[in-house]
Amino acid sequence: MEFTNVSLPWMPDRYAMVPRLVEKQLRTEQEAALRYDTKIPRYLHIASRKTNRWGHQRSYKLQVFSFAGDHLPESQTEERSMSWARYKVAITKHKDSEQTSSSLYSQNDVWTPAVDFSKYIEDNESIENQDLVAWVTTGFLHIPHAEDIPNTVTVGNGGGVILRPHNYFDEDPSISSTDSVYFSPGAEGSCENNRMACLTHETCTPILETFTYHGFDGVMKFEDWK
């Protein structure tokens, strides 16, 4: 996204900065190796030469919603065993010889690792019109604290990447779902359209006991911690 200074149609003598979507194609592995300490594009698309019926390239969007923390300095010799962590996202040409970003055996000799991911990018091959692999590094840092007892809180702790179709289909593919159900206003309580509204009418409805909760009785005694 870039900002462009444009004049306002209703006030030509006035200008405003307006965000504009700018497309740039990354053509080599080194161009597509986005390091952890740099700003990455807001939208990352892996596109094919084929188009949908609207003329747009069929593509997938990489949406990374968490990143790992600071990386070990590259001046450290053991860094080679975890060189994959240098990058938030790295796109490389698919090779049968490049199956993993690391190796289980690297822990036995971190100074001469069995797999050095940085070598995948050093040859700087073209990624244009090729089968591609997206290497994405995600993660989060959890610092132990008192509220972890007795259960570690996981709210807000998470990481990952979403691979989303972008112009890949001609329309929302879910409209072709065979088990889709259409509700018209006022039909929410209809047993014909919504069986969940009439569970009491079902002959096999289980009879469940009333839920009760007794805290930590019989599990642990906090007074023993004093």
Q: How many CB atoms lie within 10 A of CB 81?
A: 23
Q: Write down the residue that tokens 């132990």 correspond to.
A: 144
User: Is the pLDDT higher at 43 or at 204?
Assistant: 43
Nearest Cα to Cα of residue 179 among 200, 193, 198: 193
Phi, psi of 78 (to 5 degrees): -75, -10
Q: For residue 97, which amino acid is it?
A: S
Phi-psi sector, 48: left (phi>0), alpha (psi -120 to 50), beta: beta
User: What band does 217 get if pLDDT is binned at 50, 70 and 90?
Assistant: low
Residue-wise pLDDT tens digits, 6-58: 999 999 899 999 999 888 999 999 999 999 888 888 889 999 889 999 999 99
> Which range, 106-110, 180-184, 206-210, has the best average confidence (pLDDT)?
106-110
Asked whether residue 86 is assigned to any structural domain, the reply reads yes
Total number of domains in the chain: 2
Same structural domain, 41 and 146 = yes
Same structural domain, 101 and 68 = yes
What's the domain range around 186? 180-204
Res 195 pLDDT > 80? no
Residue-wise pLDDT tens digits, 59-78: 999 888 777 777 888 888 88
Same structural domain, 110 and 77 = yes
Q: Write down the residue that tokens 């990058």 correspond to.
A: 87
H helix runs in the chain, sequence order: 118-122
Same structural domain, 154 and 58 = yes
Same structural domain, 91 and 118 = yes
Asked whether residue 46 is assigned to any structural domain, the reply reads yes
Same structural domain, 62 and 146 = yes
Residue 130: helix, strand or coil by DSSP? Answer: coil
Report CA 224 to chain centroid distance, whole Å: 44
Phi-psi sector, 151: left (phi>0), alpha (psi -120 to 50), beta: beta
Same structural domain, 112 and 152 = yes
Phi, psi of 186 (to 5 degrees): 90, -5
Asked whether residue 66 is assigned to any structural domain, the reply reads yes
Asked whether residue 106 is assigned to any structural domain, the reply reads yes
Asked whether residue 60 is assigned to any structural domain, the reply reads yes
User: What band does 196 get if pLDDT is binned at 50, 70 and 90?
Assistant: low
Same structural domain, 193 and 150 = no
Asked whether residue 16 is assigned to any structural domain, the reply reads no
Same structural domain, 74 and 154 = yes
Q: Give me 64's structure tokens.
A: 């990374």
Same structural domain, 82 and 185 = no
With 0-12 CB in 10 A as exposed, 13-18 as middle and 19+ as buried, what is 91? Answer: buried
Round to whole Å and give the CA distance between 45 and 89.
12
Asked whether residue 105 is assigned to any structural domain, the reply reads yes
Asked whether residue 146 is assigned to any structural domain, the reply reads yes
User: What band does 203 get if pLDDT is binned at 50, 70 and 90?
Assistant: low
Q: What is the pTM of this model?
A: 0.70
- Inter-residue contact 89 to 34 (CB < 8 Å): yes
Same structural domain, 135 and 196 = no
Same structural domain, 117 and 191 = no
